[in-house]
Amino acid sequence: MMSNVVVVDNGGGLIKAGIGGERDPTCVVPNCTARPSSSKKWLVADQLLSPSEDLTSATLRRPFDRGHLINPDLQSSVWAHLFTNLLKINPASSSLLLTEPLFALPSIQHAVDEIIFEELNFRALFVADSPSLVHLYEASRRPYGLVSKAQCSLVVDCGFSFTHAAPVLQNFTLNYGVKRLDLGGKALTNYLKELVSYRSVNVMDESFIMDDVKEKLCFVSLDVQRDLKIARRPGKDNLYRCSYVLPDGITHMRGFVKDTNEAKRYLALHENEAPFLAGGKDYVELQDGSDNPKDKRNIDLTKTEFSLTNERFLVPEMIFRPADLGMNQAGLAECIVRAVDSCHSHLHPALYESIILTGGSTLFPRFAQRLEMELRPLVPDEYQVKITTQEDPILGVWRGGSLLASSPDFEAMCVTKAEYEELGSARCHRRFFH
Amino acid sequence: MDEEMSSSLRRMSMRTRKVAPKMAAALASSDNRAQAMLARLEALENDNAGLETVQVDDDDEVSFDDDDQAYQKKQSKSTKRKTRQAKALENAKKAPRTFLELLQEANLESLPPHVPSYSRAAVGPPSSTARRHFCTVCGFSGSYTCVQCGMRFCSIRCQTIHTDTRCLKFVA
């Protein structure tokens, strides 16, 4: 009875759900419904991941807007599907640990409580915020590390809808110190969509494909001016040019990177440039040798693929310089500095030394490196800057939740259904210190 | 055949010329440029490209086609099935409000100044106002501003592409 805790990290992009105490979530599914242009049926969550579904030009509906729940009805149907078909649990006999975005509005909290207790009938509920869970997980992973000794960390959560820099002290998020940057993976994908649609192929309706393009091809530049110059070179000297093949609906249903070696050419650039160009030539020969599959694919090649050059690093660049896009917000490095500055000065050295990166958008190659480069000049000399990356930034929050759910105190921290019925939604939030 | 092509092209350009003065008036002032900028930023949070406003959560409509006629047909079909009023009522009930509406409703400004809230957690403007500009056509650093719409370009070549394809052709 007591072991049955369901942990749900309810993100704007992906729901990570599983049973508390386990290492990995049972399922990681998109938190949305979509309808392919060819059918009238809305596909939910895991159905979107099946390879047989043709999701080109699908219409999307998400329960989240700007990181907050706006459509409780849709969310409740996604959850119902999740709990009955994917996790196969009985809510009446299980507790739920749910993550909530920071600064959720009271009206949204009420709506969530209502769904959990009245529609889904969970036995008990605990609402957590993600930075504290990430802190908990990292502290438990390295019991002798600074995070667990100083009991504080600065969690930088760069997710789907927005980016937070949140100081955590003794497992509590210091909400007066949290700073938010209104940019996340969704905005990046949309930006990439816009660029590609204007420059080569109209992909404005292809959210799923462009997500894939972004994940596979985008990276963070360490020197934008230099990279722009390289991206301008013609032909094979251009280390950043890379093609992505769009699905044609006949031979392949998913898009793919045309040549993964070509896509990875930028990685070797730092060591030295010269041997790399030779590698580029190898690639040419390889291409000439294997012309046949190319012919088979399609006669009109220009229509099914597009190539990216500077878009590959200019898109993630936005997180570091939102001003370039016309946003009146400071970049990520400054966001971190402001979050730290709003805490007590005794915490500053410890916070700078225990920056934890989490969230799917930190998966861009070289993200941490670039962040350190930008952060170092902004931080006082006497403080060290240390950025820790999580081994799986998407699951970091969930693993923290799983850990919390398996702790012996968990049941005592929950609000039970009986308490909710007696005291209403207000009870929940007094309990969770929100 | 050739003539037909050219005539259709001419017709296209006629249309843009008809639209352009209106747009030019709307976009000439820097304030409107700022508005266009905001609209672009807003678009970054859309789930479905631009068309979201056309068919917010309408189950009966199949997604938008490039073909205008097909779209109109579908629309007329769906209006036949339900009266407009009933549909509007149903939509109003169903349509989730945007987060910004919810935010306004929550009235966070009324909180005492020491309470952290959503609006106070925003990171705020950058310390340096220096802004890099990228060419909207090719992506490289764009040193020139289009005098009509304020978008950036880097060379004559890109300027031509910009004026031909984009300048004053978007809806602010």
ipTM of the complex, rounded to two decimals: 0.71
Residue A278: the pLDDT is 37
pLDDT at position A341 over 80: yes
Residue A300: the pLDDT is 53
Please say whether the beta carbons of A4 and A19 come within 8 A: yes
In this complex, do B62 and A37 lie within 8 Å of one another by their Cβ atoms? yes
In this complex, do A231 and B99 lie within 8 Å of one another by their Cβ atoms? no
Quick check: pTM over 0.90? no
Residue B23: the pLDDT is 52
pLDDT at position A274 over 80: no
In this complex, do A70 and B63 lie within 8 Å of one another by their Cβ atoms? no
Q: Is residue A429 within 8 angstroms of chain B, CB to CB? A: no
Burial code of A105-141, b = ≥16 C-beta within 10 A, e = fewer?
A: beebbbbbbbbbbeebebbbbbbbbbbbbbbbbbbeb
In this complex, do B140 and A191 lie within 8 Å of one another by their Cβ atoms? no
In this complex, do A314 and B99 lie within 8 Å of one another by their Cβ atoms? no
Averaged pLDDT for residues B26-39: 68
Distance of CA B131 to the CA centre of its chain: 23
pLDDT at position A298 over 50: no
In this complex, do B126 and A330 lie within 8 Å of one another by their Cβ atoms? yes
Suggest the residue from B33, B35, B42, B44 to mutate for an interface test with chain A (most A CBs closer than 10 A).
B44
Give the residue among A127, A48, A228, A304 at the shortest CA–CA distance from B135. Answer: A228
Radius of gyration of chain A (CA): 23
pLDDT at position A155 over 90: yes
Chain B residues touching A327 at Cβ < 8 A: 41
Suggest the residue from A66, A314, A317, A361 to mutate for an interface test with chain B (most B CBs closer than 10 A).
A66
**For the segment A179-232, what is each residue's pLDDT rounded down to a tens digit?**
999 999 999 999 999 888 888 888 888 888 888 899 989 999 988 888 888 888
Confidence bin at B150 (pLDDT 50/70/90): confident
Chain A residues touching B94 at Cβ < 8 A: 73
Confidence bin at B172 (pLDDT 50/70/90): very low
Averaged pLDDT for residues A54-62: 81
Q: Which two tokens stand for residue A145?
A: 């590390």
* Pairing verdict, β A124-129 and A415-416: antiparallel
Output the average pLDDT for chain A. 83
Residue B81: the pLDDT is 58
Give the residue among A91, A70, A163, A150 at the shortest CA–CA distance from A346. Answer: A150
Please say whether the beta carbons of B123 and A181 come within 8 A: yes
Share of chain A above pLDDT 70, in %: 89
Give the residue among A148, A183, A142 at the shortest CA–CA distance from A164. Answer: A183
SS3 content of chain B, % helix, strand, coil (to 5): 55, 5, 40
* Pairing verdict, β A33-35 and A43-44: antiparallel
Averaged pLDDT for residues B121-147: 85
Q: Which two tokens stand for residue A72?
A: 């409780």
**For the segment A71-124, what is each residue's pLDDT rounded down to a tens digit?**
888 899 999 998 888 888 888 888 999 998 888 888 888 888 888 888 988 898
Q: Which amino acid is at A18?
A: G
- Give the least confident one: A6-20, A106-120, B50-64: B50-64
First to last CA, chain B: 37
**For the segment A342-358, what is each residue's pLDDT rounded down to a tens digit?**
999 999 999 999 999 99
In this complex, do A60 and B132 lie within 8 Å of one another by their Cβ atoms? no
Bridge partners, residue A181, by sequence: A163
pLDDT at position A429 over 70: no
In angstroms, the separation between the Cα of residue B134 and the nearest Cα of chain A is 8
- The rounded distance, in Å, linking the Cα atoms of A428 and A54 is 42
* SS3 of residue A372 by DSSP: helix
Q: Which two tokens stand for residue A178?
A: 């949290």
Question: Chain B residue closest to A106 (CA)?
Answer: B106
Q: Name, in order, each residue with C-beta under 8 angstroms of B3's C-beta and a sequence gap of 6 or more.
A: none
Chain B residues touching A35 at Cβ < 8 A: 63
Q: Which two tokens stand for residue A176?
A: 């007066």
The residue length of chain B stands at 172
Residue B17: the pLDDT is 43
**For the segment B70-111, what is each residue's pLDDT rounded down to a tens digit?**
444 445 555 555 577 777 777 666 666 778 888 887 777 777
In angstroms, the separation between the Cα of residue A415 and the nearest Cα of chain B is 24
Q: Name, in order, each residue with C-beta under 8 angstroms of B5's C-beta and a sequence gap of 6 or more.
A: none
Query: With a CB-CB cutoff of 8 Å, which residues 5-64 of chain B face chain A?
Result: 37, 40-41, 43-50, 57, 62-63
Residue A371: the pLDDT is 92
Averaged pLDDT for residues A258-286: 55
Residue A427: the pLDDT is 59
- The rounded distance, in Å, linking the Cα atoms of B172 and B170 is 6
In angstroms, the separation between the Cα of residue A175 and the nearest Cα of chain B is 6
In this complex, do A324 and B134 lie within 8 Å of one another by their Cβ atoms? yes
pLDDT at position A136 over 80: yes
* SS3 of residue A434 by DSSP: coil
Q: Name, in order, each residue with C-beta under 8 angstroms of B68's C-beta and a sequence gap of 6 or more.
A: none
Residue B91: the pLDDT is 67
Tell me which of B155 and B14 has the higher pLDDT: B155
